Amino acid sequence: MKQTVERFSEQTAETAEAQKVKKANQEVRYNINPELLQAGAEKETSQTRKGYAGISNQPFRNSRQRAVIWGSFALIWIVIVWLTGRLLPAGSTLTSLMDRNLSPAWAHPFGTDWLGRDMFMRTLKGLATSIQVGLLAACGGGLIALLLGLGAASSKAADRVISWIIDLFLSVPHLVSLVMLAFVFGGGLAGVAAAIALTHWPNLARIVRAEMIQLKSAEYIQISHKLGRSRLRIAMQHMLPHLVPQLFVGVLLIFPHAILHEAAITFLGLGLSPQQPAIGIILSESMRYLSAGMWWLAFFPGLALLLVVRAFDVLGNSLKTLTGTGSSREVR
């Protein structure tokens, strides 16, 4: 029995030695270095992991890069249109009966109207006026939404009242309330801006209210309450900085709706006065001359208005992507 065990152990040792020799011969034959092979495997694994990480981050980086590029183009376009319209001399839109009803040409890119006024100059001035109205209306609507959102976070009773007011304003169509308020305020640039501001805050106020309710349950807000800080101080120091990105994007998204609604009520004759250059007035006056073949009176101003509105929309969506604010929310 002892001899059998010794023979088996000798055979096992010989077998292990033979395997080592065979492996060494293979490494010599194929010029394989185990250390290099292991290092190469680790390097390949790390490169694969980096590749996977790069693939996962690539769509995010591409979306942010596209947002920066398109947002920059939109901002440049808006600034150029606004500055050009504001810096044009007053005599650029004077009447010239010798140049009446001219079709688009190099001297007049958008043609002339029935009084010989250059439509390119009138369109630029009208767009500058629309941007000014949109700025006043968007800032006013954003301020109303911020105040009501902060008020909703003060107490449950105030939250119920503000929620009821928001639902009440959302139940009325924009255009109906806008026409009524513009008529009450007497029209004009300030009246139209006030009417638009008072009708375009509910959706933004609802978003601000939701953010405030979410922030109230945060741990650091609860700690501030226990430390004896006042609600106003907590709202201004801790909550307001978190609302700035949402508020800024919301104000920008109000811009295109404000511009379109200003053009709509001006087109109906309840907005700006006919003496002021505005896209709504230009489109309203051009309707009487479309049957005579003067298509350029409405086509180019309408196209320019759509390009400006689209630029504001692109700028707002780009900022929404860059700041990471809720992409599924829309302010109207």
Instruction: Give a yes or no: residue 23 inside a domain.
Output: no
pLDDT for 21 equals 47
pLDDT for 327 equals 42
Helix (H/G/I), strand (E/B), else coil: 125: helix
Q: What is the mean pLDDT of residues 95-114?
A: 83
> % helix / strand / coil in the chain, to the nearest 5?
80, 0, 20
Instruction: Give a yes or no: residue 315 inside a domain.
Output: yes
Provide the domain count of the chain: 1
Closest CA to 286 of 302, 264, 304: 302
Q: What is the mean pLDDT of residues 319-330?
A: 63
Q: What is the mean pLDDT of residues 222-233?
A: 77
Instruction: Check whether 91 has a pLDDT greater than 60.
Output: yes
Backbone angles phi, psi at 307, to 5 degrees: -65, -40
Percent pLDDT > 90 in the chain is: 2
Instruction: Give a yes or no: residue 330 inside a domain.
Output: no
Instruction: Give a yes or no: residue 42 inside a domain.
Output: no
Instruction: Give a yes or no: residue 4 inside a domain.
Output: no
CATH of the domain at 178: 1.10.3720.10
Tracing tokens 């968007």 back to the chain, one arrives at 138
pLDDT for 18 equals 53
pLDDT per position as a tens digit, 276-285: 778 888 888 8
Other beta carbons less than 10 A from residue 103's beta carbon: 12
Distances (CA, A) of 3 to 9, 11, 13: 10, 12, 15
d(CA 160, CA 153): 10
Alpha carbon 192 to its chain centroid, in Å, reads: 24
CB-CB contact of 254 with 138 (8 Å): yes
Lowest mean pLDDT among 1-10, 95-104, 289-298: 1-10
Lowest mean pLDDT among 199-203, 223-227, 322-326: 322-326
Percent pLDDT > 70 in the chain is: 79
pLDDT per position as a tens digit, 24-41: 554 444 444 444 445 444
Helix (H/G/I), strand (E/B), else coil: 306: helix
Residue 152: which domain range?
Answer: 71-323
Tracing tokens 């009708």 back to the chain, one arrives at 199
